[in-house]
Amino acid sequence: MWVRDQAMDVNGCDPWLKEYVDFSKCFLIGSSAGGNMVFHAALRALDIDTSPVKIIGLIMNQPYFSGVERTESEKRFVNDRILPLPANDLMWSLALPKGADRDHEFCNPMTADGFLKEKMGRLTRCLVTGHGGDPLIDKQRELVKVLEARGVDVVAEFAEGGCHGIEIFDPLKAEALLKSIKEFVDTCCRCVNYEPAAAKSTL
């Protein structure tokens, strides 16, 4: 909503945004819990008039989802050095509404009711990335399948090995992630007849 107000010049638009940003070609991007936030923020934005801001892509890097039923990857990496299962359980117990379990839609939207799944089908194009050494990889793959089943255009990039947040520790993985994001952004912009201009960039 802040970006929308900037685009509408409510109380004055930031000069940098006014000069360089094309508000009709915006993206939501987040890693780990941020990827979960991107997903839910995009769902909420479907019911809000954000014009002239237009969200044309969602970028979820290793999005953080779980569920009551243990996935094979969670069981396989129960003592993972980055995200051990007890820590994962603790974080969800602190984050979810009182009395909710890990099948709450904030944690496990893949078990959501028909209304939420219908909304998922209205989401814009998504990039979902993950690594085989991440305890959350099975849930990330499940998210891709649910989105694709609802007709969402999903670019899924899952690499072997690695760990949760690998790009923080490995410069080559960070470089690969940035390349994937750049290609995704470029493709989304071309799909909406984007013509690059020297004084424009995406937000």
Residues serving a catalytic function are 32, 134, 164
Distance CA 19, CA 130 (A): 35
Distance CA 169, CA 116 (A): 36
Q: Which amino acid is at 63?
A: P
Distance CA 182, CA 48 (A): 27
* SS3 assignment, position 12: coil
Strand-pairing partners, residue 164, are: none
Q: Which amino acid is at 91?
A: M
What distance lies between CA 70 and its chain's CA centroid? 22
Q: What is the dihedral of CA 157, 161, 164, 167, to 10 degrees?
A: -70
Exposure of 47 by Cβ count < 10 A (0-12 exposed, 13-18 middle, 19+ buried)?
exposed
* SS3 assignment, position 79: coil
